[in-house]
Structure 1
Amino acid sequence: MASKPKTTHIPLAQPLLAGNEAKYVMDCLETGWISSAGSYVTQFENMVAQYAGAKYGVACMNGTVGLHIAQVVLGVTEQDHVIAPNITFIATLNAIKYTGAQPILIDVDPRNWQMDLDLLETYLREQTQTETKNNKVVTTDKTTGKRIRAIMPVHVLGNMGNMTRLQELAKAYHITIIEDSTEALGTTFKGQHAGTFGSMGVFSFNGNKIISTGGGGVLVTNNEALAKRAKHLTTQAKVSAMEYIHDAIGYNYRLVNVLAAIGVAQMEQFPEILKAKRHMDAFYREQLRGVGDIKFQSVCNNTQTNGWLFTFSTKHMRALLAYLNENGVQSRPFWMPMNQLEMFKNDRYITKTDVSAHVYDTSISIPSSAGITPEQLETVVKTIKEFYDL
C-alpha cells in the first residue's frame, strides 16, 4: 500500500508545559536552590501522595530507581524471587535484577494485557510451598527453594487488573506487593488510586508520562517507617546534617529541586490534563471502533484508566506502523516481551499460549500527548482509516 508523504508531524507523547513551570524554575535559579535541597521537593512529594491517597511520598530521580529502592527497603535480596508480568517496560525487570533477585515472569491476560491472575494463581498453587522459616511464614518456589519475596504488578499503559484478587493471592501466600504504577497516575480501581494497594507504589515522571519533570519519580506508601527508610537510603544514608556520617550503603537517588519545581507546576494542571487524556482515549475508541481488524485493550468495569498511551492491536501492525510514520503520525511498536530479551531469556516464564508474543507482534501506540489538539486527533484517525482504505 503506497503512502503519500505529508508535512504533518504529530508526536507520540510530549509533555504539556502550560502552567507555572518557567516561573517556578526561575525561582530555583534566582534563589540558587537547584539541587537536592529546596522546598519544591517536599511540596511535590506531598502533592503526589495526597493525590494518590497515600500518607507519604518520597521523591527520587526516576521511576526505575524508585522500584529499586522499594525492593531494598522491603528486604528483597539475591536469595529471593520477585514475580512480574512478561509485558512491561524493561525498567521493571532491571530494577529486580539490581537487587540480585531472580524474576519469575507471568504471561498477560489477552484482554487487558495485565498480569494473568489465573496463571499466577495456578503457579502459586502448584509450584510453590508455604513453610515457616525463622519464625516467619514464607512461600518458596519448589524448584529453586528461594523465597518469593514480592510481586510487582505493572499497570500497563495506565490500565489496571483486578487488584482485589491480587491482594487476596498475595495475602494467602505471604507475598509483598510493590506496585509498578509508573504509567498510572490518575488511574483507579474501585475508586482506589493506583500505587496504594501494596506496601509501596512508584510513579514515573519521565518525558513521555502523563505529567513530566523531565526525569523523576515518587514512591508512595502508608507506612511511615518505610517512607523514612526510603528517604534515608535515597539520600546517601547520611545521618547528620553537619557531619559526613553514613550508617548504610546509600544511593544518590534524590530528585533535585529544579525538577521538582516543574513537577509542582505539572500537578497544579493535572486535573485538566487527566480530563484531556480520558477524552482522547474515548475519542479514539469511538472513531476507530470497527475500523479494519483493530482491537482495543479492554478495561474492566471497576477500573478508570488515565488514558496514558493509546495502544491497539492489528495483524497489520508493521505495515500500519510504517504508513503512519511516513505520513507524519509518530507511532511506535509495543515493548518486546521480557522473555525474548537476551538478559531475561533464562528466567522462569509461566505461560500456556504465550499471549505476550501475540500482543507484541500486533500492538501499536499512536499519538497521545497531553496537549494533542482536536485537529491532530482527527488527522490521526483519518490517516489510520486511509491505511485501511476506508
Structure 2
Amino acid sequence: MRNKFLILILIVVGIISLFSNYWFADGTAKAVAEGVNFNAADVSWMLVASVLVFLMTPGVGFFYGGMVNNKNIISTIFQSFIAMVTITVLWFMFGFGLAFGPDIGGVIGDPIPHMFMQGIGTTSSWVGAPTIPILLFALFQLKFAIITPALISGGVAERINFWGYLLFIVMFSIFIYSPLAHATWHPEGILAKAGILDFAGGTVVHMSSGWAALAGAIFLKKRRDTTLTAAQVPYVILGASLLWIGWFGFNAGSSFAANELGVLAFANTTAASALSALTWGFLEKINGKKLSSVGVCVGAVVGLVAITPGAGFVSLGHSFFIGLIASVISFYMVKFFHNNDVDDTLDVFPCHGVGGMVGMLLTGVFADKSINSDVPSNGLFFGESALFIHHFIAMIVVSLFVFFGTLLILFLVNKIVPLRVDPEKEELGLDLSQHGEKVI
C-alpha cells in the first residue's frame, strides 16, 4: 500500500509540474516591485550567500552525525540530507507561496499565484530586496526553510522512524515554518507589522527548531539507552566549521545587498561566535572538566544562533556581549536538561531554542536605530522599553505556537506512521534498521 501511494505522489507531481505553466500562469505577488534595476554586485553576493547557507545543512548533518553513537551516524547525517531534498520540492511547489505569497490575515501567504514558482522570475524583485531578482530571493529563503527541520532532527536522534520523520518535516514546514516566516518577514505579516526584529532567523529558524525539538523529545520519550559518546569527534569539528562558514551567508546575506550592513552582520557573526566558543570552553574548565573540542564547537554554534536575530541591528561590542551571555545560559541549560527526564538527544532546545530566545530578547535590548533605520525604536539599553516589551510578548506567543503546534503534528503523524522505531530496531541502530547501511 505504501509503495502504491509513493508511486501515486510521483505521478501527480510529475503531471502538475508538466502543465504548471498553463494552470498557474501570470501569478504575481503584491509585494513584488516591477521595472527594477538590478545591481550586479548584489546579485553576485546573494548567489554566493545562498550557496553558503545551503552548505550549513550538510554542516548540521556532520555536526550531529559526529555526536551520536556509531550505529546511528549515517541515519543522523541522512536526516539533514533528506531535508534538502524534500523541502526543496515542497518550496518550489507551493512552500514559497505559503511563506511569501499575497498576505492572508498576517499569518500565511496565498500559495495559488506562485504554485510551481509561477510569477517568480528574473525580471522583478521582492520589496525587501529590490536590487536582486525575486527568484534569487526565493532561492535564498529556501535554504532557511531547509535547515530548520534539519536542526530539529538532533532532538529526536537515534529513535525516530525515517518515514515518520519525512512526513513530519513536510507538515512542520507547511503548518509551522511557513506561517512563522510569513508573520515575521512578509511586510504584511503580523509580527513584522508589530515591529518585531529578526534579521536572519533567530525566531523563524532557531526558536522554532528548538521548541519543535523539545516537543519531539517529549513525545518520543527517552531512548532505551541514553548513553551517548561522540563516535566521530572530527565530524563534529568539521560540521561546526561548515556551519560557521555558512553562517556568514546566513547573516550577512540577510542584508540582501553587498553593502555596509552586510559587513556589520559579517563582523557581528564572527565576534559573537568566537567569544561564545571561548566562554563555553572556560565554563567546562571552571566546572571541573577538560576543555573539549566538542564543547567549544557547541559554544561556537550557540553564539551564531544568538547573534542571528540582531546581526544587522546591534553594534560589534554588543555582539560580543550577546555571544558571552548566550553561551553561559545555554551551558547551564544543557546541564539542567541532562539532569532531567527529557531526552533531547543533542541538546537542540538548550542550544538553538534557548540561544534563539536569548538573542531575540537581547536584540530588544541592544537594537540601535543609528545602525539600521529599520529599527522601530531603540532597545532597552538606550532607555526605550517598547521594543523589548514587544519582543518579550512575541517570544512567548511564538514559543507556545511552535511547541503545541508541533505536538499536534507529531500526534497526527504518529496516527499515520509510527514515529518511534521498534525496540529491536533501536537496539540494532537506525543505520541498519532504517537504511540497510552501516559505518565500517
Length-normalised TM-score, structure 1: 0.27
- Higher strand fraction (1 or 2): 1
Relative contact order, CA 8 A, sep 6+: which one is greater?
A: 1
Length-normalised TM-score, structure 2: 0.25
